[in-house]
Chain A
Amino acid sequence: DAGVIQSPRHEVTEMGQEVTLRCKPISGHNSLFWYRQTMMRGLELLIYFNNNVPIDDSGMPEDRFSAKMPNASFSTLKIQPSEPRDSAVYFCASSLGRVDTQYFGPGTRLTVL
């Protein structure tokens, strides 16, 4: 089992650029979660999907953030345009069900200059 795969592992970009983070969940998992982690705000749930459908996006900070899950094996989190305050580690996690053990990916460390 490869676990949850995230890419890229590190991303450095300039303010105003578009950033796309990618996630491949564990095969057979029906729920997928995007989190953001910073020193100041800790771990925040941004959005989660169940069976590829977005269920709760109330944690998405602004319209600059969007997420998609076109199929069961792939999800993206996009920031357009990016700002320095978006600098954080972004985690993707997947689970069999909504309320079940979540398996986390290694994260993407985003730095916006």
Chain B
Amino acid sequence: AQSVTQPDIHITVSEGASLELRCNYSYGATPYLFWYVQSPGQGLQLLLKYFSGDTLVQGIKGFEAEFKRSQSSFNLRKPSVHWSDAAEYFCAVGATGGDKIIFGKGTRLHILP
């Protein structure tokens, strides 16, 4: 069965610092991978997705993620975070022929001024 793990429940970084949020998945076939962001009081918004092709995916708000099949990972990165990036981030995985997307438990990002 497919699964997705976000090892970090909370991450704190200083404004202007770089960011990497980890996501590991478990599935035999090539997965569909997603990152969503949820700001306080809001619904989830898609940041980026990987279906096929280039393993480095660019998203909105300056985020990118890299699909590494050998490590079963799809980590989210941003070179310089802004205070407005404070939110909860969800990684999700689906698969061709699968029946639905599975969401990770989320990583809450805190930004220090």
Contacts and interface: CB of A to CB of B under 8 A. Distances in A.
B43 A99 contact: no
A104 B43 contact: yes
A106 interface: yes
Contacts of A98: 94, 98-100
**Interface size bucket, B side?**
20 to 34
A113 interface: no
A45 interface: yes
Interface residues of A, number: 20
Contact of A43 (B45, B100, B103): B103
Nearest to A44: B103
Contacts, number: 51
Interface string A50-71: 0000011000000000000000
A101 B43 CA distance: 14
Contacts of B96: 99
A30 interface: no
B46 A56 contact: no
Nearest to A92: B43
B44 interface: yes
Among A98, A105, A106, max chain B CB count under 10 A is at A98
B10 to A, nearest CB: 13
Contacts of B46: 101-103
15 contacts: A42-B105, A43-B44, A43-B103, A45-B100, A48-B100, A56-B100, A93-B43, A98-B94, A98-B100, A99-B97, A99-B99, A99-B100, A99-B101, A104-B44, A107-B43
